[in-house]
Chains A and B, each alone.
Chain A
């Protein structure tokens, strides 16, 4: 079946605007994860969902970041009042269940001008 998909693939926005990033996990995967990857860096954990609930939001960098998941499937990551330091690749991954192997989407490349 299809892998994890993310949209948009690229997003350029102006400082102060809000952005929404979307993730479609692999069908049947109950766990969904968001990571941020800055240029030349490893992956920074942001948040994960088990079903529609987010037991661990500890990685969200500030209260400008929020995420939701509906129907146990699609998830959106919202960044409000974007700042230039928010520029990064935002990666989504899903797994059958927490602790199972995570499969990654291609990422959304966000550039805040």
Chain B
């Protein structure tokens, strides 16, 4: 079945540093989404990407939908302690009608 490979699995960085994480797939997706999950909460949508090549920003977050439609990255600039959490990529395929999630990237920020 469809799978997403998300990396890195975890990151431990200093406050103020930039962060980059990505997802790749062997399958094509129509939509890429990035979610953040805080402890004890459900995932919250950060950015949605709908077109190949699309680059979208949301504050300090920037995400891109890869040209091949098989990958996406998320960048966080000037990290702050509240960025701590688990970040998930998710790809939606209209063929299957399913949203497939990556394994998550756990981000820890040292003040």
Contact = CB atoms under 8 A, between A and B. Distances in A.
Contacts of B92: 99
A106 B40 contact: yes
Interface in B85-111: 88, 90, 92, 94, 97-104
Contact of A56 (B6, B88, B97): B97
A6 B40 CA distance: 13
B44 interface: yes
Interface string A40-58: 0111010010000001100
B97 A99 contact: yes
Nearest to B97: A98
A33 B35 CA distance: 16
Given A56-B98, A99-B92, A101-B33, A42 B45 contact: no
Kindly state the interface size class of chain B when it binds its partner: 20 to 34
Contacts, number: 50
Contact of A106 (B6, B42, B88, B94): B42
Contacts of A55: 97
Closest 4 CB pairs of A and B: A104-B42, A43-B101, A42-B101, A42-B103
Given A42-B102, A99-B30, 18 more contacts: A33-B99, A42-B88, A42-B101, A42-B104, A43-B43, A43-B90, A45-B99, A45-B100, A56-B97, A91-B42, A91-B43, A93-B42, A98-B97, A99-B94, A101-B48, A102-B99, A103-B45, A104-B43
